[in-house]
Amino acid sequence: MRTPTRVLLAAGVAGPILFVVIFTVAGWLRPNYSAMVSPVSDLGVGENAWIQNANFLLFGILLIAYAIGFRQALAPFVGRRATRSGIVIGTAALGLFGAVAFPAAPETGLLHFLLGFLVVMVASLGAAFYGARLFRRLPGGRRLARYSTWTGIISVVLFGCTFFVLNPASPLEQAGIGGLVNRILAIIVFAWYAVTGAWLSLRLDCGGATRSAKELTGVPS
């Protein structure tokens, strides 16, 4: 069970890294595109749009794999709560698929916002906050729990900021930093998957965490 779980957790580490690298390259390849001004989703429409759409799709697939690995890694410690957390992470993955099905074009822009942004971000924030509760039950997991809580808090603030810096009706939109705020939010939120995936993978490598979960936590597997 351990080796497949580590592979699934590795998907959570690779997914955010690849996502950021690919949308950065896609921005470089797009003529007259400003990463400072324009959000990542704009890369899914127009010239070379297939690059960002493939990026959304790949990240979604890797996130589903991570959701399964996350559930497998935590189940011995927290029981059925691990399944709930896996469902929340899987919901974020479905939102990424929605971003592909409904790109940020004028005719599908609202659905893209609802699925490709709102669902992804709300589910990811939910995973971070709920994960903070679960990590406190893991041996040595309190630091990871604090990291998860602060990830959620900072991301909520940035999440709120995006509604001002990317809203044409807002004076802050004229500052031309919408794309920057959008990217900082994405990096902070999605880094949570990579950090937690790496931490859980190391726990599985170091000392048989799954084998000793019942004795260490008193939670039935």
- Judge whether 184 lies within some domain: yes
The answer to whether residue 196 is domain-embedded is yes
| Domain annotation covers residue 215 | no
- Mean pLDDT calculated for residue range 118-142: 95
Query: How confident is residue 173, by pLDDT bands cut at 50, 70 and 90?
Result: confident
In a domain, 220, yes or no: no
Interatomic CA distance for residues 51 and 74, integer angstroms? 34
pLDDT score of 221 more than 50: no
216 is a domain residue: no
d(CA 98, CA 117): 9
CATH number at residue 90: 1.20.1070
Q: What range defines the domain where residue 11 resides? A: 2-210
**Residues 15/186/37/21 CA torsion (nearest 10 deg):** -20
pLDDT value for 2: 53
Average of per-residue pLDDT across 186-212: 79
Q: Is residue 104 part of a domain?
A: yes
Average pLDDT, the chain: 90
pLDDT attached to residue 110: 93
Tell me, yes or no, whether 218 lies in a domain. Answer: no
For 37-76, how does the pLDDT look when each residue is reduced to its tens digit (9 = 90+)?
999 999 999 999 999 999 999 999 999 999 999 999 999 9
The full DSSP string for 130-180 is HHHHHHTTSTT-HHHHHHHHHHHHHHHHHHHHHHHHS-TTSGGGGGS-HHH
pLDDT reported for residue 210: 43
- Position 15 pLDDT exceeds 50: yes
Q: Determine the residue type at 58.
A: L
Query: Would you place residue 123 in the very low, low, confident or very high pLDDT band (cuts 50, 70, 90)?
Result: very high
Q: What's the number of domains the chain is made of?
A: 1
Is the residue at 185 inside a domain? yes
